[in-house]
Amino acid sequence: MTKQSSGQKSSRRRYSPEFKTEALGLADQVGVGGAAKQLGLHESQLYAWRKKTRYEQSRSEPEKELATENARLKRQVAKQAEELAILKKAAAYFAKSLK
């Protein structure tokens, strides 16, 4: 077993929502294994897309809105925590210079 250590990270491939929808349709017709071979994907990728699609379809509209609001608030908290850390460092620096 050899391990590749080229030092470069391979970037993750991103697929469009349209491609995912078509791939899942093909998987329903010919099976996940056949669709994965035809599209050059791993079966686990198709299973993950299917799981995510079913989960998103089962969520209600208020739940989706709450999830969006939750994500926005998490970003805001992270930004404020960063700003607070900067202010603490600045306060410590100026407190040193006053001594």
In the block, residue with structure tokens 């603490």: 88
Can you tell me the mean pLDDT for 52-56?
A: 88
Q: What confidence tens digit (pLDDT) does each residue in 69-78 have?
A: 999 999 999 9
Mean pLDDT of the chain: 88
Q: Considering the domain boundaries, does residue 10 fall inside one? A: no
pLDDT band at 12 (very low <50, low <70, confident <90, very high): confident
Q: How many domains are contained in the chain?
A: 1
Q: Considering the domain boundaries, does residue 2 fall inside one? A: no
The two tokens of residue 71 are: 């994500």
Give per-residue burial for 29-67: e unless 16+ CB within 10 Å, then b. eeebeebbeebebeeebbeebbeeeeeeeeeeeeeeeee
Please report the pLDDT score of residue 55 as a whole number: 86
Is pTM beyond 0.75? Reply is: no
Phi/psi zone of residue 42: left (φ > 0), alpha (ψ -120 to 50 degrees), beta? Answer: beta
- Domain residues for 72? 17-98
Please report the pLDDT score of residue 62 as a whole number: 87
Q: Considering the domain boundaries, does residue 65 fall inside one? A: yes
Q: Considering the domain boundaries, does residue 43 fall inside one? A: yes
Please report the pLDDT score of residue 1 as a whole number: 42
Question: How far apart are the C-alpha atoms of 36 and 84, rounded to whole Å?
Answer: 48
Q: What confidence tens digit (pLDDT) does each residue in 32-51 have?
A: 999 999 999 999 999 999 99
